[in-house]
A and B are shown apart, each in its own frame.
Chain A
């Protein structure tokens, strides 16, 4: 398995190269001009031209691409056109809120969705099953920002239990940190809970029809033992797959959630960079997201062997 993991990590290199080429080319041909944004609305065209030249934005595509790739190979993601800060520093400043949000959402979603799906399968066809599936449809259907506004209205403005917006670093205490993330995590987790609950229910239904479940019942194993020890373990592979795929959902959802709750994370950094055409930042963040996604998929592949010993690499 170790050799497999190494092979997969090495295989990410061509994937990242393709992503890099794609991202750079897409940004090159897309409209927009950071020099014009820097100069401001009242600047003259001559001012904009001078700034463009001073930033090196008037150089040919191949020269700029070659320089960028060479810097990445040396571990340098470049420098933001606007802030003059290294892109790696900007990512480091922003990664904590996004990581916190994603981890809490992930735990929240798995903690709620898996039991929901298991119970729905167990009580198939009853009002509990219909309620769970109804909740799942709602979770899929209501956009993150609507859930976000509703939560902020009820729990922050009306009840005054939680803050409306913002982020407190973990270094300033666990409760202030957690307090700021409860509403965003619930808002972001809705879709994720729905997705995992549905897949858990469907897989569990299939597993509960298997012979070994019948045998377990015949041997006198209790209901919770059957559900959580025998059935869920065997249903885990598709669930883990969906959890992994859902990381992409979380990354996309974090962009909206961070805007609604004013969380200074990577999602907002990406949106801001795109709006002002801060090319090095956009390229750096997309590369990072791609890398994370590839790694998560690798992790999921490795997890299969934990849940199903028959799988060997």
Chain B
């Protein structure tokens, strides 16, 4: 019998090794270039969806900028600059715009980039993007008279054209080969072929765990200028970038501290003090537009279908409370006094800000709610308990509404359930909702063209479905504004109106730090981009 047991154990070990070894299940191929040319990066989450057009997820945008390029980039002053485009010509009083592609651009499969590819890409992107839809609605024809020329024949001049093509807010207008760009805009693409500075290593992809990008040897950076956000020459100093998904924040911090990883995109607030004390780690705020937190109302049902009730709650908002709950007491990491455009961006203004900046008085809020006609209707607040920052916002919001005397039902669930429930247009007694909390990157609120939560197109609007015809008129006026001064005037009117209609409550702006090892340099401002990053051994 002992002999049988030994045989059994030996067999078990053999089975285990066969299952884990080269004769067992296939392991992804792994190349091992020199350490200084390989960057190990911990993204905010996995690239769950790899098609940057079908989703608005930020992590997919960052993945997108590695693989695909754009006709125009955005510099740090928020101005569009030619990127794949060599330049452009505006004729016929702004109704004909010809964009010329740079020479020598290639796709990762070796084919040349042509104007036809770009037109198919623009069309697919425009089907998914709000600004793109405005652009196409104002376009009579989009033509490719030759391989390098893209011609827009416009119904009327559209000053925002280059901004639309270059904006980094999601979805970004990435250029793809025509055969890929012809994919249904509601179906994800299957091939990751771009003309960007890095190639996708499909053979090394492990969904949920790892994504790998390899330098594209045939990438042609712009010859002139300096890299600034998504504009300027994209000069690559790395051979390979590995994204390692580490879902546990403590493990990610330890991996960075131990030198197993080079860069952690979003260290959590509680671990930032520890990382700051580490001499081998640098922490900084990369995106000056930050993240803007909001409380979104459901405008279809009581009580928040009443603008006076929404307005009354502006008096209860203490942005500092919300921001402290999300990012802590360090004032360098958040700003209050945040209106409907992110502080520090061109359209930020003071119109109507007294609604948020005046002294807070909860008794007055209660009186205003009563005058507005609030009769104790149930407020269903849906909160994502698995998303720490959103959960913190919801907890403070719950407290605020309760103190204001509202009848709150706090529904704590996971984010996946929140995104499903918020799509319901039913009243609360039939599974609907009244309010949820989220945040937007400042870049996605930077102007009325990209700001989804400012739209007032009713049933077609973002979740909450506010109907604000005047807001839509002002948005169109902003598109037609010929210069920045004219745009600023319209933005002031928009903000004034927003304080009357209150499509959502602005809860403050906070800044997400990023952390990387001291041997890394050239980390760009904005979101994670990798073309100017250098690593020393």
Contacts and interface: CB of A to CB of B under 8 A. Distances in A.
Interface of A: 31-33, 36-48, 50-51, 53-54, 80, 82-85, 90, 92-96, 99-100, 103, 107, 149, 152-153, 156-157, 160, 163-166, 169-172, 177, 229, 233, 259-262, 264, 268-269, 271-272, 275-277, 303, 306-307
A137 to B, nearest CB: 26
A54 B254 contact: no
A45 B462 CA distance: 7
Interface string B405-441: 0000000011111011101010000000000001010
Nearest to A33: B420
B207 A44 contact: no
A31 B417 contact: yes
B19 interface: yes
B206 interface: yes
Contacts of B24: 96, 170
B246 interface: yes
A233 B5 CA distance: 10
A168 B123 CA distance: 43
Interface of B: 1-2, 4-5, 8, 12-13, 16-17, 19-22, 24-28, 30, 46, 48-50, 54-57, 60, 128, 130, 170, 184, 186-188, 190, 206-210, 244-248, 250-252, 254-255, 257-258, 260, 386, 413-417, 419-421, 423, 425, 438, 440, 444, 452, 460-463, 465
Contacts of A51: 54, 186
B57 A262 contact: no
Chain A CB within 10 Å, residue with most, of B184, B247, B251, B462: B251
Given A41-B56, A42-B170, A96-B20, A33 B419 contact: yes
A53 B184 CA distance: 12
Given A46-B460, A164-B258, A172 B30 contact: yes
A32 B46 CA distance: 19
A62 B24 CA distance: 37
Contact of A85 (B207, B244, B245, B425): B207
A-B residue pairs, 5 tightest by C-beta: A264-B209, A40-B56, A42-B56, A169-B27, A33-B420
Nearest to A32: B416
Contacts of A306: 1, 4-5, 8
Q: Which of B60, B186, B421 has the most CB of A within 10 A?
A: B186
B402 to A, nearest CB: 25
A157 B274 CA distance: 13
Given A41-B56, A259-B248, A31 B420 contact: yes
A54 B248 contact: no
Contacts of B56: 39-43
Contacts of B462: 42, 44-45
Contacts of B50: 83
B49 A82 contact: yes
Nearest to A42: B56
A93 B255 contact: no
Which one of B21, B460, B465 has the highest number of Cβ atoms from chain A below 10 Å of its Cβ? B21
B55 A38 contact: yes
A209 B416 CA distance: 57
Contact of A163 (B30, B260, B444): B260
Name the prevailing secondary structure of the B interface residues. loop
Contacts of B415: 275
Given A54-B187, A170-B20, A268-B208, 12 more contacts: A31-B420, A33-B423, A39-B56, A42-B56, A44-B460, A45-B425, A51-B54, A51-B186, A82-B207, A269-B208, A272-B207, A306-B4
A40 B414 contact: no
Contact of B251 (A50, A82, A107, A260): A260
Nearest to A99: B19
Nearest to A172: B30
Interface-centre pick from B260, B416, B461 (highest chain A CB count, 10 A): B416
A276 B251 contact: no
Nearest to B209: A264
Contact of A272 (B1, B28, B208): B208
27 contacts: A36-B419, A36-B420, A37-B416, A38-B49, A39-B56, A41-B57, A41-B419, A44-B130, A45-B423, A45-B425, A51-B186, A83-B207, A92-B25, A93-B25, A95-B25, A99-B19, A149-B250, A156-B254, A157-B257, A164-B254, A165-B254, A169-B20, A170-B22, A261-B251, A262-B244, A271-B247, A275-B416
Contact of A171 (B5, B27, B188, B260): B27
B452 A42 contact: yes
A164 B251 contact: yes
A295 B24 CA distance: 19
A275 B414 contact: yes
B423 A36 contact: yes
B60 to A, nearest CB: 8
Contacts of A152: 251, 254
Contact of B210 (A33, A39, A264): A264
A277 B206 contact: no
B207 A171 contact: no
Given A172-B30, A262-B255, A32 B386 contact: no
A249 B478 CA distance: 61
Contacts of B440: 42
A165 B55 contact: no
A254 B466 CA distance: 46
B55 A40 contact: yes
A292 to B, nearest CB: 12
Nearest to B258: A164
Contacts of A177: 20
A36 B421 CA distance: 10
Contacts of A92: 25-26
Given A83-B207, A268-B208, A276-B48, A260 B20 contact: no
A89 B19 CA distance: 15
A312 to B, nearest CB: 16
A241 B209 CA distance: 35
Contacts of A44: 130, 452, 460-463
A80 B207 contact: yes
B48 A82 contact: yes
Given A38-B49, A41-B419, A96-B27, A262 B188 contact: no
